[in-house]
A and B are shown apart, each in its own frame.
Chain A
Amino acid sequence: MQSKTTCENNTNITPDLFTFIEPGTMDADLLTRPSLSYWKDAMRRYRKNKVAMAATLILAIIVLLAIFAPILSPFTFDENNWSISNQGPTREHPFGTDNLGRDLWVRCWEGARVSLSIGVLVALVNATLGILYGGISGFVGGRTDLIMMRICEVIGAVPQMLWVTLLVIVLKPGFLPIILALSATGWIGMARLFRGQVFSIKESEFVMASRCLGTGKLWIIFKHLVPNAISPILTSMAFAIPGAIFAEAFLSYIGLGLPLPLASWGNLSSNGANVFLTYPYQLIFPSILICITMLCFTLIGDALRDALDPRMRK
């Protein structure tokens, strides 16, 4: 057997290279990538998603217009002026006027305020109720969980729109009643989602480890369960907002929307639908706004779901 061989092909191998490296000079435990918390990492991935960034931008523009357009306009949303009723889009009235001569541009952006507020508020209320209900049910478990979930199923067995319609009839149409009605059953989905998350995280080893340290229930809920379970809720909220906006529009179509002269995208579309064949622009503008907004939220929701999913981490 040969003792050693030379390396045939490499001529820059010189004997002086064969000196030992001091142990400990090469960091064997090197962490090569920069430190990122979960949220920062999620934001980084979100920002890489060009479609989502475009949708966020468009949504930001819509929100800005909703805030500032009515303020900057010389017209108000309830200013009647029969002389210019039912006019098509002009320079003075970019979206035209309705049958009472009101400026539709201002009405659309006032409507944006209302519809977006309804969407966001409903989503927030649903999320809060859902987290509380689902959290208690999931954390306590056992018979409590069984009963609470059965209640959810009974309520959820009735179609949501039926509940909403009944509640709005009882409470009489208005801003707050609509929010209450849409939240009355919307929280069920969030509750189920959060409960599922709590259930699985409750059994994970890091929660067990925390209990070993002697920590109490509230600490575990707020330090461990909520931060880890919240991601699907955020995604769900992003999808809930367009759902609420559309539900409000639906209510307007069946006559239970916000009372005039208040403007919302729902009742604007509903009124526009009545005169669509003669004055199409009265339906087109609010509808386009609803569609764009819903699309943006949906795209943002998709991107959030991917960004917040730790398994997608590359």
Chain B
Amino acid sequence: MSTESILRIENLRFSFMTYAGEIQAVRGISLEVKAGEVLGLVGESGCGKSVACKSILRLNPEDNGVYLPGSRILFEGKDVLTMSERELLRLRANDIRMVFQDPMTSLNPTMKVGKQIAEGILNAFPKMKRREAKELAIETLRDTGIPNAEKRYEQYPHQFSGGMRQRAMIALALAVKPKLLICDEPTTALDVTLQAQILDMLRSLQAKYQTAIIFITHDLGVVANIADHIAVMYAGKIMEYGNGQDIFYDPKHPYTWGVLQSVPPIDADTSVPLVPISGSPPDLFKPPIGCPFTARCPHAMEVCRQHYPSPQQASERHIVTCWLYHAYAPHVINPITNEEAVL
């Protein structure tokens, strides 16, 4: 696996301009995805993870939303935000593909499924013959675990069951062998057993096609299972970034601690209480100046209220933005490791 990064997001900021005012959806995030890697983007609803990922393909509405200056999204060195229309279309057809949560609204109900996939392929490779595109589409359908792929090619979306539609949507996205696949909560609405099947399938296809994946979810279990690296988002910013071992066994940010403690431990019962995070996420209409987690953080300090912390490196690819790791900060105990909280 090569270690070159194919996607680099730098200081991305995006706001929606409503007539009530500015809603700051994404407030300065920086990320890196290397070829063939799976990045999990975890956060609660409203934290900006969907908006951030749509930005990569410039799918956000640009008539009432704006990318604030200083934002850069570099895909293989080229800035998506300044690309021409033609380059952007090519990017969306060939290089970066997206899978959404609800397959019903992503597939055209009036067109045969196979035809939709074949059209996507021809869009990306205009020189390909129709017959070849059809064969590739059938092969991709087979790869995503749809039995009787030739027959299913000729069917309409309403003839597919829920799980199969999800697979068809993934086939639609992966048929062109994109370099990056963005999945926006693809398994959230699915049953547990179906989710396991889809995650399994995604993992094997990712290994086969060597596609990098950005996987958006709010489910810690899912992200532990599928992601190599994880970015934890809150209120439009990234609180912590690291690999699976870092985030689950040595997390540094109090928000990550809070989220891990809210989930019942594997063999515990009600004698071991859940430790919730009190309150609710802040209103992005008037976001707080300092760290957005201050109001809910059990270790909040005065400096947190006034200034936003800069990222600190705990290891080469483990970064946390929190004042607790500043030289002046008092000692606290990391509730997950039960040791002193240090970088």
Quick check: do A and B touch in the complex, using CB within 8 A? Answer: yes
Binding site for B on A (CB under 8 A): 1-7, 9-10, 12-21, 23, 26-30, 32, 48, 314
A9 to chain B: which residues have CB within 8 Å? 310
For B, the interface residue count at a CB cutoff of 8 angstroms equals: 37
Q: A12 vs B326: C-alpha distance in the bound complex, in angstroms? A: 14
Question: What's the least CB distance linking A101 to chain B, in Å?
Answer: 55
A17 to chain B: which residues have CB within 8 Å? 301-303, 306-307, 328
Q: Quick one: which of A6, A14, A16, A314 contacts B20, CB cutoff 8 A? A: A314
Tell me whether B57 is interfacial, beta carbon within 8 Å. Answer: no
Q: Please state if B325 and A20 are interface contacts (CB–CB under 8 Å).
A: no
Q: Please state if B301 and A19 are interface contacts (CB–CB under 8 Å).
A: yes
Question: What's the least CB distance linking A17 to chain B, in Å?
Answer: 4
B294 to chain A: which residues have CB within 8 Å? 21, 26
Q: A20 vs B314: C-alpha distance in the bound complex, in angstroms? A: 23
Question: What's the least CB distance linking B343 to chain A, in Å?
Answer: 5
8 pairs, CB–CB < 8 Å, chain A vs chain B? A4-B342, A10-B307, A13-B307, A17-B301, A18-B330, A20-B299, A23-B300, A314-B20
Which of B4-12, B145-153, B276-284 is near enough to bind chain A?
B276-284
Binding site for A on B (CB under 8 A): 18-20, 278-280, 283, 285-286, 294-296, 298-307, 309-310, 312-315, 323, 325-330, 342-343
Residue of B nearest to A23 (CB): B298
Residue of B nearest to A19 (CB): B302
Q: Please state if B279 and A7 are interface contacts (CB–CB under 8 Å).
A: no
A314 to chain B: which residues have CB within 8 Å? 18-20
Question: What's the least CB distance linking B127 to chain A, in Å?
Answer: 45
Residue of A nearest to B305 (CB): A21
Q: A12 vs B290: C-alpha distance in the bound complex, in angstroms? A: 14
Q: A48 vs B285: C-alpha distance in the bound complex, in angstroms? A: 20
| New contact pairs (5) apart from A5-B326, A48-B19, CB-CB < 8 Å | A17-B301, A17-B328, A18-B301, A21-B301, A26-B295
Question: What's the least CB distance linking B294 to chain A, in Å?
Answer: 7
3 smallest A-B Cβ distances: which pairs?
Answer: A28-B279, A17-B303, A26-B295
Q: Please state if A13 and B326 are interface contacts (CB–CB under 8 Å).
A: yes
B310 to chain A: which residues have CB within 8 Å? 7, 9-10
Residue of B nearest to A24 (CB): B278
